[in-house]
């Protein structure tokens, strides 16, 4: 901002000096006219340094060091204390203070006062040092009035420049602050997404991996016949392959989420979409001695973000298994009606308390434990709820503590989109 103010000040001084040149010709003071010509030349030089060479410091310090010697010369050749030089002292001091750093205010103030007192002393006690140039009162009136008016205009212009450039600086700072706020918000959103994705990955992969570990432990125990061990190894390979495929899908979807890009939509039958996931979930439920029934009352075709739908499906069924005791039943009914996919997951588990049910879909990260002390974060249902809304669907829950829970997901199949007709 200091550079712009200094630039504006030099331009003001240049035109002000042109006016003084005309005034001095009018009153016949050719000595001061010559001084004005000299000032115009050096001001032009300062503008060249500032605007062409971009040498702000050189231009400023050169101007600052030359201004008081010029004022002294003007004082001695423009009737001393009877002339208008001291008006210019105020204008110059304001200009300098508007440009220099605040730590130099005292230095420039002292310098201004020293020059003022010194020149006033010379004009008062050494009058013979100062030639009298005014020929009559009309010249005194004209010179004093014009110079004072010009100084007032100069002060007003400097003040206006200060206010103008301050406004620009203020707007720039405000814009930078807004941009910084947007960046911070974006970073926070990215961080939140990463946290959610980590939660999803750990939530969706933990149970299949635990199932694989338990199967391996059973095989290594030596309590199985060769036929049983062979069967388990075959099932283990299938489960591992399905888990690996599921992991690849989750990671691919996570990449879309971080980049804030919509996941790829696919046209597929629901049964074909969920069959691998169902097999993994059946292994998990079997190890917990829970019966998992998946009923395809209808097998609708969908055109949808399949990874997001699978995210909801896995979380809801895994939650039902987690909170259902051994010997319990988890039922999954898949249906469709009026272009809507309807997915219902019902269990006869421990249920949800009335207080917890009120805020079941809110983001509330805290430890939760299943019927066999399976640890969770409580984030799964919140993510399901968010994903349902992103699919333009609804997720509802009914639960009675000690009886069981029922989750119902209703989302458009997307099959009637204009692009598919």
Q: What's the rounded Cα separation, in Å, for the pair 96 and 73?
A: 19
For residue 382, how many other CB atoms are within 10 A of its CB?
20
Residue-level pLDDT at 419: 41
Q: What is the pLDDT of residues 285-303, one digit of tens each?
A: 888 899 999 999 999 999 9
What pLDDT, on the 0 to 100 scale, is given for residue 256?
Answer: 59
Tell me the mean pLDDT in the region 154-175: 84
In degrees and rounded to multiples of 5, residue 181 shows phi and psi of -65, -40
Listing DSSP states for 2-67 in one string gives HHHHHHHHHHHHHHHHHHHHHHHHHHT-HHHHHHHHHHHHHHHHHHHHHHTS--HHHHHHHHHHHH
The band of 272, judged by pLDDT with boundaries at 50, 70 and 90, is very high
Averaged pLDDT for residues 186-211: 72
The pair of three-digit structure tokens given for residue 213, joined into one six-digit string: 């570990």
Report which of residues 121 and 35 the model is more confident about: 121
Q: CA-based angle 338:293:272, to the nearest 5?
A: 55
Q: What is the mean pLDDT of residues 358-373?
A: 65
What does the alpha-carbon distance between residue 24 and residue 34 come to, in Å, rounded to a whole number? 9
The residue among 95 and 334 whose pLDDT is bigger is 334
For residues 378-404, give the mean pLDDT: 87
Residue of 413, 403, 288 whose CA lies nearest to 339: 413
Query: What is the arithmetic mean of pLDDT over 302-321?
Result: 89
Comparison of pLDDT for 320 and 373, the residue scoring more = 320
Tally Cβ neighbours within 10 Å of residue 109: 13
Q: How confident is the model at residue 234 (pLDDT cuts 50, 70, 90)?
A: confident
Instruction: Decide which of 253 and 410 is more confident.
Output: 410
334 versus 214: the higher-pLDDT residue is 334
Query: 321 vs 141, 256, 324, 374, 388, CA distance in Å?
Result: 101, 29, 5, 10, 21
Q: Which CATH code for domain 184-420? A: 3.30.565.10
pLDDT confidence of residue 258: 65
Question: What is the average pLDDT score of the chain?
Answer: 83
The yes-or-no verdict on residue 310 having pLDDT over 80 is yes
Segments making up each domain of the chain, as ranges: 2-135, 184-420
Helix axes 2-27, 85-99, angle to 10 degrees: 170
pLDDT given at position 27: 75
Across the range 182-203, mean pLDDT stands at 74
Q: Which of 60-64, 171-175, 366-370 has the lowest mean pLDDT?
A: 366-370
CA-nearest of 200, 209, 228, 372 to 283 is 209
pLDDT value, residue 418: 44
Is pLDDT at 372 greater than 80 in this prediction?
no
């Amino acid at each position: 901002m200091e550079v712009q103010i200094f630039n504006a000040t030099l331009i003001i001084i240049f035109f002000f000096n042109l006016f003084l040149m005309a005034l001095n010709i009018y009153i016949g003071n050719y000595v001061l006219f010559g001084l004005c010509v000299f000032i115009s030349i050096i001001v032009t030089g300062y503008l060249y340094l500032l605007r062409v060479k971009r040498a702000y410091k050189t231009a400023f310090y050169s101007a600052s060091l030359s201004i008081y010697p010029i004022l002294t010369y003007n004082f001695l050749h423009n009737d001393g204390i009877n002339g208008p030089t001291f008006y210019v002292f105020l204008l110059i001091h304001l200009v300098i203070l508007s440009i220099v750093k605040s730590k130099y205010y005292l230095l420039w103030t002292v310098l201004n006062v020293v020059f003022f007192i010194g020149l006033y002393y010379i004009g008062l006690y050494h009058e013979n040092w100062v030639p009298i140039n005014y020929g009559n009162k009309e010249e005194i009136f004209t010179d004093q009035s014009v110079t004072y008016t010009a100084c007032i205009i100069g002060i007003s212009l400097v003040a206006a420049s200060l206010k103008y450039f301050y406004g620009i600086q203020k707007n720039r700072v405000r814009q930078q602050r807004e941009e910084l706020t947007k960046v911070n918000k974006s970073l926070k959103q990215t961080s939140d997404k990463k946290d959610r994705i980590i939660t999803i990955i750990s939530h969706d992969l933990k149970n299949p991996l635990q199932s694989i570990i338990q199967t391996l432990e059973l095989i290594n125990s030596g309590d199985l016949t060769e036929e049983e061990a062979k069967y388990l190894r075959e099932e283990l390979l299938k489960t591992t392959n399905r888990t690996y495929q599921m992991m690849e899908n989750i990671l691919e979807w996570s990449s879309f989420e971080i980049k804030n890009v919509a996941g790829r939509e696919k046209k597929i039958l629901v049964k074909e979409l969920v069959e691998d996931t169902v097999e993994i979930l059946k292994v998990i439920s079997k190890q917990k001695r829970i019966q998992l029934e998946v009923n395809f009352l209808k097998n609708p075709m969908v055109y949808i973000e399949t990874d997001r739908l699978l995210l909801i499906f896995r979380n809801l069924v895994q939650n039902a298994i987690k909170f259902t005791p051994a010997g319990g039943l988890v039922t999954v009914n898949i249906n469709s009606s009026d272009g809507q996919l309807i997915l219902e997951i019902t269990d006869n588990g421990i249920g949800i308390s009335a207080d917890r049910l009120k805020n079941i879909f809110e983001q509330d990260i805290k430890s939760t434990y299943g019927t066999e002390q399976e640890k969770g974060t409580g984030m799964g249902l919140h993510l399901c709820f968010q994903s349902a809304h992103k699919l333009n669907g609804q997720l509802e829950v009914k639960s009675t503590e000690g009886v069981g829970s029922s989750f119902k997901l209703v989302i458009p199949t997307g099959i009637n989109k204009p692009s598919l007709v």
